[in-house]
Structure 1
Amino acid sequence: MAQLNPEFSRPVRLDTLGDVPRAISVEAGAEERAALARRFRIVAIDRLEAEAMLTRIGDAVNVSGRIVAAATQSCVASGEDVPETIDQPFALRFVPEADAEIGTADEEIELEEAALDEVGYAGGAVDLGEAVAQTLALALDPYPRAPNADAILRAAGVAKEGEEKRTGALAGLKDLLKK
């Protein structure tokens, strides 16, 4: 769901799109990157750019492209800064909010492999910047680890020498399954 005032807004009017793909490049400025870093609760975003091809098909807009970003997060074990570079393709489809599939927490949704993520829009424009910001959030490592994270965890008694990395809410599940 898009915010009312996204930090990195790049609206693209629907009446400028057609069935011939339109290339659009977006880049977040320093203030936008700082605001996104606060929103995502990470240390910093030093770079956020995307190249995209937008094609309108009726009320829907298909988007494919590439996101390039440089971010810094805190290590889950030590709190040290962990730099991360993201360079990956993305694909999504903007659909009118009335057509967007809105599931509930209890509802199980199965997507086909070729299915595109759907982003709802209202009015006469889609927000490519917000879609790129959300793509970045999904691409970030959910458990960033500094090179010395294993040593810190062993020193804290959380992991033993030679053990596989086990952190997070389900870390003890492996031991339970052995019993």
Structure 2
Amino acid sequence: MSEPQPEFSKIIELGDPGRAPKIFSLTANEDQCRKVAARLGALSISHFEGEIRISTTKTEIFVDGAVKAQMVRECVASLEPVDEAVHDEFDIEFTRIPETKDEDETETEEDWRLPEVHLGDDIDIGELLVQQLSLALDPFPRKEGATSLADIYAKEEKVSPFAVLQGAIKKSDDNQ
């Protein structure tokens, strides 16, 4: 099975360690915005761009930058469209491992505190921007003043006429 193609791809070579940082600016075209919106479950993305600065050593890759997007998502309460502007800065550290990894090597449990492992001498900075955008999104976008569909369509709870009396009489061993 082949790997899915990234919706917004820009592969760059990392180059020799110790060189001056490389700076890249990317802006997604209309087709790329449409594909990224579909991947992230957004109704639409009208603008998506990012800037990335990469520096490397023999064993590490340092990436920092910013991602910006203007998008329309679905309100979690009313399912109405809601505009969302994203502007997020990020800073990532990778541990650099050569591409010649033994296939017999067993995987160990990943420690989230350690830098992410990166194989090879190139990196897809477009895909990296899409990943950072997904992390920056509001997990529960809600339109201001939206009424929940659950409140509108929920069945009315039937209240017993005796509910007012519940707890009015204290229970004891004598009146149970």
Q: TM-score, normalised by structure 1?
A: 0.69
Closer, same or farther in 2 for the Cα pair 1:33/1:89, shift >3 Å?
same
- Give, in angstroms, the shift of residue 4 of structure 1: 4.5
2:124 corresponds in structure 1 to 127
2:143 paired with 1:146: yes
1:75 corresponds in structure 2 to 75
Closer, same or farther in 2 for the Cα pair 1:78/1:94, shift >3 Å?
same
Q: TM-score, normalised by structure 2?
A: 0.70
In structure 2, distance between residues paired with 1:77 and 1:71: 18
In structure 2, distance between residues paired with 1:78 and 1:23: 41
Offset from partner CA, 1:103-161 (integer Å, 9 cap, x none): 75xx7x463xxx76x3x443320111101000001111111111232465543459xxx
Indicate if the aligned counterparts of 1:53 and 1:63 stay in contact, CA closer than 8 A: yes
Which is higher, the Rg of structure 1 or of structure 2?
2
Closer, same or farther in 2 for the Cα pair 1:82/1:34, shift >3 Å?
same
Aligned-CA RMSD value: 2.6
In structure 1, distance between residues paired with 2:27 and 2:68: 10
* SS of residue paired to 1:61: strand
1:15 corresponds in structure 2 to 15
Closer, same or farther in 2 for the Cα pair 1:84/1:67, shift >3 Å?
same
Indicate if the aligned counterparts of 1:17 and 1:54 stay in contact, CA closer than 8 A: no
Unaligned segments of structure 2, at least 5 residues = 102-106, 156-176
- Give, in angstroms, the shift of residue 64 of structure 1: 0.9
Indicate if the aligned counterparts of 2:43 and 2:72 stay in contact, CA closer than 8 A: yes
Closer, same or farther in 2 for the Cα pair 1:24/1:141, shift >3 Å?
same
1:17-166 superposed matches below 5 A: 18-96=18-96, 109=111, 111=113, 118=116, 120-150=117-147, 152=149, 154-157=151-154
Closer, same or farther in 2 for the Cα pair 1:23/1:135, shift >3 Å?
same
Closer, same or farther in 2 for the Cα pair 1:33/1:50, shift >3 Å?
same
What is the number of equivalent residue pairs in this alignment? Answer: 145
- Give, in angstroms, the shift of residue 80 of structure 1: 0.7
The answer to which structure has the higher helix fraction is 1
